[in-house]
């Protein structure tokens, strides 16, 4: 899935700012940094996962990454930055995408995209257009564009 995602985004992310809203292991955020993203903000609420992200950032010399231990909704309520790419890989079965997608438009740069993983294919999403979709095992992954003017 990650290879497909970065094929969709282009192999290099030079000049892009990224947000990994449920960073977990940081795989997407660190991958974006390795592909020359200008900066990546990784948000992870779990303190154990957050500590692991900090340790991995030191190991990888990921100096263009910012790692925050905060709830995703709280982060969005405080953030004023716009991102070119927002990665969403939230826990399944908790309605995160339905909660978050209506909040993302002000955080997305013009021509920005959202990568979202879900347990089902995303069909009609008010204000969003699915322009790429794939499936690996039971995971559906999507690239979304805001259908409103930002």
pLDDT-derived band at 95 (thresholds 50, 70, 90) equals confident
User: Going by DSSP bridges, is the β-strand pair 108-118/139-146 parallel, antiparallel, or unpaired?
Assistant: antiparallel
The domain made up of 2-146 has a fold known as Rossmann fold (3.40.50)
Degrees to nearest 5, angle at CA 79 with 34 and 112: 55
To the nearest whole number, what is the mean pLDDT of the chain?
A: 89
Say how far apart CA 100 and CA 89 lie, in whole Å. Answer: 11
Map out the domains of the chain as residue ranges.
2-146
pLDDT 10s digits, 13-35: 888 999 999 999 999 999 999 99
pLDDT 10s digits, 35-73: 989 999 999 999 999 999 999 999 998 888 899 999 999
User: Going by DSSP bridges, is the β-strand pair 39-43/17-20 parallel, antiparallel, or unpaired?
Assistant: parallel
């Amino acid at each position: 899935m990650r290879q497909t995602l970065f094929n969709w985004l282009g192999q290099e992310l030079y000049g892009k700012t990224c947000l990994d809203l449920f960073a977990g292991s940081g795989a997407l955020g660190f991958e974006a940094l390795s592909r020359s993203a200008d900066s990546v903000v990784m948000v992870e609420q779990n303190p154990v996962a957050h500590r692991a992200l900090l340790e991995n950032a030191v190991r990888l010399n990921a100096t263009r990454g910012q790692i925050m231990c905060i709830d995703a909704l709280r982060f969005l309520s405080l953030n004023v930055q716009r991102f070119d790419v927002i990665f969403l890989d939230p826990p399944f079965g908790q309605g995160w995408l339905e909660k978050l997608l209506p909040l993302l438009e002000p955080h997305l740069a013009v021509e920005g995209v959202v990568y979202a993983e879900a347990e089902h294919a995303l069909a009609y999403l008010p204000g969003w257009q699915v322009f790429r979709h794939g499936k690996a095992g039971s995971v559906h992954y999507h690239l979304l564009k805001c259908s409103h003017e930002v």
